[in-house]
Amino acid sequence: MKLLGLIGGMSWESSAEYYRLINQGVRDRAGPSASARCLLWSFDFSEVEALQMAGDWDGATALLVDAARRLEAAGCDALVICTNTMHKLADAVQAAVAIPLLHIADPAARQAQALGCTRVGLMGTAFTMEQAFYRERLAAAGLEVIVPDAADRAEAHRIIYEELIAGIISEASRASYRAIAERLAAQGAGAIILGCTEIGLLLRDGDCSVPLLDTTALHAAAAVDHVLAS
């Protein structure tokens, strides 16, 4: 089994889900006593959040590159960045190491394609919804991407940073997210990509009239495929 490097703590709420899902996936496929060989580099997210809000992406890149190099030096065979937003820095992280970085958007794109979708909705932080790095990755896979309107983007972002990263699960926020997802479906989205690793703490498939693609679960499953591949 390959050794997986997890770059997490952004936030730890979703990193804990990664750890659970990856180990559960390995156990399901390799036997009841099996668990994943992995190393977790967990950031103090308050430091990363401050860089995000200041627009200091060079400073954030330096942090993630350092973590990636440390995990590679420790013997990891592949890397997973346990957050959608910080995939803004994925190319720089990949360029800094010789081991593969498993990109979070790729399994989401594959799942959308498997469902026959050509148009998908994207929910996440304002960075993920409004900047090009994530949408372009999906577009390269042949998907048309639509995002919520400005008011819905602001509310989705607020809920992530004020509630989900703090482990707060609110029924009012669940209702808000359901409504945002339905508005994207009404615009023709055949599936909604939950493009923040905390959204799966709030929404589940079945909460919308179209499939919800949980990037945390899909990314974790792709990591299991990689570490168990011969």
List active site positions.
83, 196
Give the separation between CA 209 and CA 1, rounded to whole angstroms: 39
Strands (E), 97-198: 119-124, 144-146, 191-195
> End-to-end CA distance of the chain, in Å?
8
Cβ-based neighbours of 62, under 8 Å, separated by 6 or more: none
- Give the residue from 215, 214, 174 showing the smallest Cα distance to 86: 215
DSSP reduced 3-state for 6 = strand
214 has which bridge partners? 194
